[in-house]
């Protein structure tokens, strides 16, 4: 079936066969063991095309390890991570996985502080060249328009010529999300994106993620339940490396085991 127009930012080989209910990512019985410590156990999880999934869980539940498996940083002892219904990510290197359209944002923003906001986006868009070669190469007018649009979306238009190091923590977080978005990812992995943001920035993050879902698939690891409540269609609760519960936030909050893990009852 043809996907809805505008659902994908760039074509993947499987696009013409799928619709929004199809998975972009299928984790199947993933096991990760670190020197005898079992960090993920038989973990299975599907993310739909255009879905916004929140992954929550107490400290040490395995959320970071899960993202590390998807991005190729950690290789599981067993299990598969099928992307685009055909590619097993567990056999690929991190750079190859990024090229397939999987972008990851870590908790701490990593922007080039000495460069301007515009230059940061320009570099991210041009990708793999060295910094100076990249900045010397001219942008096409289409690329410039795309960066301008991104600045508007991120509410950073007034900051375009400021050094990124001068931005607030929240603005740096937005800039880094923009640096991922100009690379047109299909699947975005975001680790506690609202941490350290002001209330207004958190509110805008929620609005931004809801706008991005549909066009991109998003997996958001988050501790802030208020934030999860405002963004998530679907929540997965991890505990001790396993999926403890899955469903709407209301459903998982009513789950006895989840209440026990979170509230210690
Ligand atoms: N390289 C490693 N070697 C040994 N143990 C590890 C390694 N990486 C993670 N672990 C362990 O695996 C478990 C899961 O860790 P992980 O960082 O994935 O949890 P998390 O849910 O992201 O926690 P947090 O919310 O605190 O970030 C933890 O007990 C951690 O100590």
The DSSP call for residue 164 is: G
CA dist 169 and 146 (Å) reads 24
pLDDT at 215: 86
pTM of the predicted model as reported, rounded to 2 decimal places: 0.87
The predicted-structure confidence for 89-138, as pLDDT tens digits, reads as follows 999 999 999 999 999 998 877 899 999 999 999 989 887 656 666 666 77
Q: For residue 172, what pLDDT is reported?
A: 94
**Domain range list for the chain:** 15-111+167-263
Using the mean position of ligand 1's atoms as its centre, give its distance from the Cα of residue 35 in Å: 12
What is the 184 CA–ligand 1 centroid distance (Å)?
29
Ligand 1 pocket, residues with Cβ under 6 angstroms: 34, 37, 39, 57, 59-65
- Cα 202 to averaged position of ligand 1 atoms, centre (Å): 26
Burial of 34 (0-12, 13-18, 19+ CB in 10 A): exposed
Cβ contact 186:8 at 8 Å: yes
Q: Place domain 15-111+167-263 in its CATH homologous superfamily.
A: P-loop containing nucleotide triphosphate hydrolases (3.40.50.300)
Query: What is this model's ipTM?
Result: 0.95
Burial class from Cβ neighbours inside 10 Å (0-12, 13-18, 19+) for residue 189 reads: buried
C-beta of residue 237 within 8 angstroms of C-beta of residue 57 = yes
């Amino acid at each position: 079936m043809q996907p809805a127009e505008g659902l994908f930012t760039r074509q993947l080989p499987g696009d013409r066969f799928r619709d929004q209910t199809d998975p972009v990512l299928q984790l199947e019985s993933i096991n990760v063991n670190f020197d005898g410590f079992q960090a993920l156990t038989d973990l299975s999880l599907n993310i739909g095309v255009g879905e916004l999934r929140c992954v929550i869980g107490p400290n040490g539940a395995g959320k970071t390890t899960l993202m590390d498996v998807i991005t190729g940083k950690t290789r599981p002892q067993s299990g598969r991570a099928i992307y685009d219904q055909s590619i097993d990510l567990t056999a690929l290197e991190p750079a190859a996985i990024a090229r397939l359209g999987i972008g990851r944002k870590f908790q701490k923003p990593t922007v080039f502080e000495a460069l301007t906001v515009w230059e940061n986006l320009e570099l991210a868009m041009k990708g793999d060249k060295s910094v100076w070669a990249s900045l010397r190469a001219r942008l096409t007018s289409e690329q410039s328009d795309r960066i301008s649009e991104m600045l508007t979306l991120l509410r950073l238009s007034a900051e375009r010529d400021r050094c990124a190091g001068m931005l607030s923590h929240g603005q740096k977080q937005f800039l880094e999300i923009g640096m991922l978005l100009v690379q047109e990812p299909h699947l975005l992995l975001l680790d506690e994106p609202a941490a350290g943001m002001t209330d207004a920035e958190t509110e805008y993050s929620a609005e931004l993620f809801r706008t991005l879902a549909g066009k991109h698939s998003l997996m958001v690891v988050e501790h802030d339940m208020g934030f999860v409540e405002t963004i998530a269609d679907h929540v997965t609760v991890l505990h001790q490396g396993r999926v403890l519960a899955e469903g709407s936030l209301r459903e998982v909050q009513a789950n006895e085991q989840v209440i026990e893990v979170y509230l210690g009852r």
